[in-house]
Chain A
């Protein structure tokens, strides 16, 4: 993706202007429990609003809201926009939505090889870039609900998409009368302001809550899908697996379950303006996951354990220099890792609230077992095939 980091501010349309102050403010916003500042957030529509991150945001388009709702044809409740539809979670949300009969529009960044799989499934794809706010409004026309699963890629500056882009999107959604905004956040993001991504997610949560939208915020712990690339594939390929000795436990969850629960929550009137946390059935440490993978793959992993201290040290080191700040941000979770936090919540109330049977939620054991069964079968097929092609070698 064209990760042009700068130029987003200059390109803002006249209705949507944000103060340039926020960039530096964010960096210094690590101390917690600050009093709410008095800057009006969206002064057209929510005069009481203030932001955790001391943002000064003007949104003149707010006055348009009543008229546009009164005059236009009502949007169909089945029309949704998925932001970040090519991501791990986003694509599952798209699939689920299509399967449940929604008309899905996907906001994707323009790129040389377009995301054809979304179109193949029957979604509509619109090109827009959150870091270029002028591209956003057109994509929201005729949309009832926005589901926001976007996150910046790790290699791009964290603030471009996750903060500046989101702010523009939320303002746009407010101005254009979007009737529901679903936002995915990170569990415990309010407890770890030292991690930039979590801090940003927390600020975005606040921003949404203050924006006057009908929202659902869903906090997530970790995706099972991420484990495949991190542990399962390296073990199968007999490469070294990098793990930490951190005692942190994460309750991984299947993204398909996340998508399913999201839509159940979306249709539940009681869930509106709520903050929900989705966690998997059990919290796992890195070491436990690796052991499980080893058992299922039937081979030992070549584990390279990196002490958390090394990670922290690297982070501290990189933070000294302005030009390595990005690297420091990327290593920021080491702060979380070093504490023995458990990234999990008891889900019984949530299940009950949503009317879901806990037996329907996939466990990590089952997930990995399915993966290994399938992949080993596939490898066997490939093996037979590569024998044939050996002739050409």
Chain B
């Protein structure tokens, strides 16, 4: 700072000369004061010099008031000045003040800049008056200059490795939390609030720390609020006391959050416990999260119209909300919905074939054959209506169409189907057929249930909801879908509800408006730590897995973007040491460290390949050859590489 002051007061060349000259006079007297400080604890030197610093900074700014750039660069010296002043009277050495100042500097630079400038000016004015009348002020300032020069001079005689602690303050703003040079920083982390459910668990603790290091806002749901728990968590974590089994606390926990990491697990293997935490808990949290996210939809004008029809269809609106977001994030073209069929003209029903059939073997069918009738036509009101009745036991009717997608688009970039339909509120089965077009014998069928409401509504059927008709078939690959079928069957209809209650459940009417494919969301919303099943005591294994499975299913069906991580047996050891294997299917044999699982969670938050995936993860099996069973996508987690994306991109979605 001294140099700057000198430069401001004198022509540049002269300034330098002054500095050099003054140093020579100064050497001894400063040495004296340095030594003196040692023995007498005398803080005088620093607080003595503090006031002039302030003035000096002020003067500096006066010299170049118009130059905004100069003002900006001065933010730093001024801050130093203030903290030094704040510490006066305390018996501390000068650079201690500056280290504590460094801590203060942690606050965001912007805020500080504004605050400081305001406060400083007031102080500065007072001091300037004082200085004007007192010649002591001049002495103080010269002393300050000397100190600065001496500091710089003596720094030359040191090695930065040995003495850089004194300079820590300078780098603080840059390297610490949220600063640009921090290797842990995640862009946008400050705007993301993550709820960690089970923050005191083995994984949860590390997850919380990792999130804090990366600058996220963290909320923690814990059951007890005692000192032991508080000590375990970083202090700026927002702690919510509650239980996942309890709806009201869950609601308050999820409010304000944009992501959830669920690492809670039952403490015991008692069925009640398992059910409460691993199954019902996941259900509660995912539901509460949807309910919380819903009101946000109204903010987006585009999605307003979607809400009016059916308020309770959370999933749909949510999905639409994400679609909106996705469109906003990544330009319209690739991320908008894909129209599969629109029923606006008589022409549009062409290509749809009406068929009928029976689940029961033909031999019995005739005895109960009371008749099937169905039609799909475009009526006078301008609506495409699929209607009829099925009185035959075990019979069904369906309309199906071979899909013809626009050139260049395939369904694998989409997340599910959106049906805009009206009618009398029956439930239908949507069937997707995959396989080679030429050979229908090889095609595989996948089904999902679609429940409509009385009146118009939009129903979203995620691809993850489709199950193979033949259980041996692999999960649905949307890329291969060629035929779409909507089937009505009298089975499993809800018994009459409301005004329509009287009607026979074997009648149906379905007014089709459009069918669209929903684009994939960008990121995952809900990360669930499940378990792979190995390492649990065998006699309780069944129950544990059952509860976990139920929880996973609840999450999958919720419509939230999900990531389900099933780690092998957890080990308490530092992470990042061994290669990891990501796999689908129960082939996990090794353990994994808690820290690695936590790392996967944190990485998955912003990884689009992690959305809607379930996978097992464990250490690489190193013992012997012959592990070709695994897809060996093993990566050693490291600073430079993002191991998660390549590992996950080969895994299948919606399993």
Q: Which A positions have Cβ atoms within 8 angstroms of B?
A: 1-5, 76-78, 84, 86-88, 91, 95, 98-102, 111-117, 119-122, 124, 151, 153-157, 186, 197, 220-223, 225-230, 233-234, 236-240, 242-244, 250, 252, 256, 260, 263, 267, 302, 304, 306, 311, 314-315, 317-318, 321, 323-327, 330-334, 336-337, 343, 359-360, 370-371, 374-375, 377-379, 381-383, 385-387, 389-390, 392-393
Contacts and interface: CB of A to CB of B under 8 A. Distances in A.
Interface in B569-601: 572-577, 593-596, 598-599
Given A120-B177, A326-B38, A381-B110, 20 more contacts: A1-B92, A1-B96, A3-B96, A98-B210, A112-B90, A157-B38, A221-B161, A225-B168, A229-B167, A250-B159, A256-B639, A311-B157, A314-B153, A315-B157, A317-B27, A324-B31, A330-B154, A336-B159, A371-B181, A375-B174
A154 B157 CA distance: 11
B403 interface: no
B32 A86 contact: no
Given A382-B72, A390-B68, A153 B165 contact: yes
A117 B166 CA distance: 17
A124 B91 CA distance: 27
A374 to B, nearest CB: 3
A228 B177 contact: no
Contact of B180 (A325, A370, A387): A370
For B68, B161, B212, B638, the residue with the greatest tally of chain A CB atoms inside 10 Å of its CB is B161
A333 B158 CA distance: 5
Nearest to B12: A302
Given A99-B213, A229-B170, A236-B73, A120 B235 contact: yes
Contacts of A91: 168, 175-176
A318 B153 CA distance: 14
Given A229-B171, A240-B16, A327-B154, A121 B209 contact: yes
With a 10 A CB-CB cut-off, give which of A100, A112, A306, A314 has the most chain B CB atoms: A100
Contacts of A157: 38
Q: Which of B4, B104, B171 has the most CB of A within 10 A?
A: B171
A19 to B, nearest CB: 23
Contact of B104 (A111, A113, A154, A332): A113
Contact of A186 (B90, B161, B167, B638): B161
A4 B42 CA distance: 11
A225 B121 contact: no
A234 B155 CA distance: 14
Nearest to B159: A333
A148 to B, nearest CB: 14
Interface string B1-42: 101100100001000100110000001101110111111010
B640 interface: yes
A87 B209 contact: no
B35 A330 contact: no
Nearest to A236: B73
Could you say which interface size class chain B belongs to? Answer: 35 or more
Contacts of A238: 4, 7, 73
Contacts of B91: 2
Interface in B182-236: 183-184, 205-206, 208-210, 212-213, 231, 233-236
Contacts of B30: 327
B32 A324 contact: yes
B156 A242 contact: yes
Majority-rule SS of B interface residues: helix
Contact of B34 (A111, A220, A302, A327): A327
Nearest to A388: B114
A77 B4 contact: no
Given A88-B171, A229-B170, A155 B575 contact: no
Nearest to A103: B205
B76 interface: yes
A122 B19 contact: no
Contacts of A223: 160-161, 164
Given A101-B575, A236-B73, A392 B156 contact: no
A111 B96 contact: yes
B160 A101 contact: no
B75 interface: yes
A227 B4 contact: no
Nearest to B71: A386
Given A95-B184, A382-B110, A230 B167 contact: yes
B73 A379 contact: yes
A100 B595 contact: yes
Interface in B81-105: 87, 90-96, 99-100, 103-104
28 contacts: A3-B96, A86-B168, A100-B595, A101-B206, A101-B573, A101-B594, A113-B103, A114-B103, A151-B162, A153-B95, A153-B166, A155-B166, A227-B160, A230-B155, A250-B160, A314-B27, A318-B31, A323-B36, A324-B35, A327-B31, A330-B154, A360-B640, A371-B174, A375-B174, A382-B110, A389-B118, A392-B118, A392-B121
Nearest to A373: B180
Given A230-B167, A236-B73, A242-B152, A374 B157 contact: no
Contacts, number: 293
A240 B19 contact: yes
A381 B114 CA distance: 12
Contacts of B32: 323-324
A120 B110 CA distance: 20
Contacts of A314: 27, 153, 157
Interface in B21-78: 27-28, 30-32, 34-39, 41, 65, 68-69, 71-77
A306 B184 contact: no
A149 to B, nearest CB: 9
Pick the most buried of B7, B28, B168: most chain A CB atoms within 10 A of its CB. B168
Given A120-B235, A153-B96, A382-B75, A4 B154 contact: no
Nearest to A308: B156
A244 B157 CA distance: 9
B353 interface: no
A156 B183 CA distance: 32
Contacts of A343: 159
Contact of A378 (B99, B109, B121, B153): B109
A377 B118 CA distance: 23
B625 interface: no
A100 B100 contact: no
Contacts of B159: 186, 222, 250, 333, 336, 343
Contacts of B34: 155, 324, 326-327
B163 interface: yes
A228 B174 CA distance: 10
A221 B159 CA distance: 9
A114 B595 CA distance: 28
Pairs A-B, 9 closest by C-beta atoms: A101-B595, A226-B160, A374-B180, A122-B209, A229-B170, A229-B167, A331-B157, A226-B164, A382-B72
Given A99-B213, A238-B4, A382 B38 contact: no
B631 interface: no
A393 B165 contact: no
B160 A385 contact: no
Contacts of B513: none
Contact of A333 (B93, B157, B165, B166): B157
Contacts of A87: 164-165, 168
Given A324-B32, A389-B114, A120 B156 contact: no
Contact of A116 (B20, B103, B113, B114): B103
Contacts of A243: 156
